[in-house]
Amino acid sequence: MADGHWAIDDFNDFRVVGVWHAAQRIAVLPRLVKTRESGINAPCAVLFRPAMPLLPKEADLFPDELFALSAGSFPWHVAHVRSRQEKVLARRLLEQRTPFYLPQIERVTDRSSRRFHSFVPLFAGYVFFRGRDHDVVLRSGVTVRIIDVDDQELLGAQLEQIRLLQLAGLRPGAAPGERRSEAEHHGHHDGRSGAQCR
């Protein structure tokens, strides 16, 4: 139940009403509602549903200095995981304090007059991680295989560029007609560009 409601604007004996809960406005009635001294005239009230909240994005990188780690001690690998299991592996890596990067983008979907916000992996099915210990990844129960990276420097540079774009509020992605980077090939080599993975 809402904490309260009050007028946003008046039109003669009709009133546009805002509804508040927990100190936040959760809805504005989409059409005029006739009012009376005791409050909203129930037969004239408009049914409404609160907007779905924007869920916070889960951790997509650990540690903060991920890209400054030594390639010799912390080589890059690509974990190919089962469908929609990227965040499961990311949580496990975070729990075990294993360096990783899972680029995510915001997706907005409108359904039945509601707007849903979610964060989805930029590269579906793939999680980038660093280190020589693969046990955490293999024992996660969601990993299909681990892909080795031949050109460590190039893959690291490309992933760092994606991270910088995200921090700048830009959505990573190749323009129409552009060749995709190695990261965008999900660990596969096309013979033209990008760090070769196998």
Same domain, yes or no: 104 and 70: yes
More confident residue, 132 or 107: 132
| Residue 198 covered by a domain | no
Same domain, yes or no: 74 and 18: no
Instruction: Give residue 14's domain range.
Output: 4-44
| Residue 52 covered by a domain | no
More confident residue, 141 or 38: 141
pLDDT for the residue numbered 65 = 97
Report the predicted TM-score, pTM, of the whole model to 2 decimal places. Answer: 0.63
Same domain, yes or no: 37 and 101: no
Per residue in 94-117, pLDDT (tens digit) is 999 999 999 999 888 888 778 888
Which DSSP helix (H) or strand (E) runs through 40? Answer: strand 39-40
Query: Does 63 score more than 90 pLDDT?
Result: yes
Considering its fold, how many domains does the chain have in total?
A: 2
CB atoms within 10 A of CB 84: 12
